[in-house]
Amino acid sequence: EPEVTQTPSHQVTQMGQEVILRCVPISNHLYFYWYRQILGQKVEFLVSFYNNEISEKSEIFDDQFSVERPDGSNFTLKIRSTKLEDSAMYFCASATGYEQYFGPGTRLTVT
Amino acid sequence: AQTVTQSQPEMSVQEAETVTLSCTYDTSENNYYLFWYKQPPSRQMILVIRQEAYKQQNATENRFSVNFQKAAKSFSLKISDSQLGDTAMYFCAFMKQSPGGKLIFGQGTELSVKP
């Protein structure tokens, strides 16, 4: 069964550094998403992406964040200058319509 | 704005028993989708069940079923014959009926199934 994959599974970075989180969505899906879950809290929407552009973004998704689909298969989330409060689990999801399928997540730790 | 509320932070159930997890939501939309996602200790988000708001019939998936009360804006999940593998965090989520729409999650209910 096709699945969403994410790399790396765990990323440790120093405050102020740039990180890129990578996702490979399910191949025939059209809609792509990033969500964030701070430990012990609910899952929060960051951004949605369709037809090579951002469809919607949340208040969390400020100028430090960007997304890209560089080659038709990968979908990346870049954080330009990480802060301590960016430490969280980041989930990628993809969908053809209404059912979103999630990847296993990347745990980002900012020290 | 839409909100999703899960008022039970933790629940426990004996193996083979039935448990119901509660979820309420607030929206002015008439057409939308509701979901339950399971998050085991691995933290993977797994879709359990989906309900379309325009359907009166409650969705079922094997041991999982929902009680969807549109007027009351209530969407509970019933797990029958609970198994140890059902131990997980369960999130209720709302989505407007718009392809590519975002999921809005509740705070989650941590379910423990005891042998």
pLDDT band, residue A98 (cuts 50/70/90): confident
Contact B107 A101 (CB under 8 A): no
What are the φ and ψ backbone dihedral angles of B113, each rounded to 5 degrees? -105, 120
Q: Do B101 and A91 touch (CB under 8 A)?
A: no
Minimal Cα–Cα distance from A57 to chain B, Å? Answer: 9
Mean pLDDT per 10-residue segment, chain B (115 residues):
94 98 95 95 91 94 97 97 97 91 96 97
Find the CB nearest B106 among A33, A42, A56. Answer: A42
Count of other CB atoms within 10 angstroms of residue B41? 8
Collect all residues with Cβ–Cβ distance below 8 Å to A39 and sequence separation of at least 6: A87, A88, A89
Question: How many Cβ contacts (< 8 angstroms) between chains A and B?
Answer: 59
> With an 8 Å Cβ cutoff, are B43 and A105 in contact?
yes
What is the residue-wise DSSP string for A10-30? EEEE-TT--EEEEEE--TT--
Judge whether residue A1 has pLDDT over 80: no
Read off the pLDDT of each residue in A50-54 and give the average, rounded to a whole number: 92
- State the best of B103, B104, B107, B109 to mutate against chain A, taking most chain A CBs within 10 Å: B103
DSSP β-ladder status, B74-79 and B60-61: unpaired
pLDDT at A63 over 90: yes
pLDDT for position A97 = 84
A29, closest residue in chain B (CA to CA): B100
| Residue A62: per-residue pLDDT | 93
Model pLDDT, residue A40:
85
* B97: contact with A, CB 8 A cutoff: yes
- Note which residues in 51-90 of chain B have CB less than 8 A from chain A: none
- A105 CB neighbours in chain B (<8 A) are 43-45
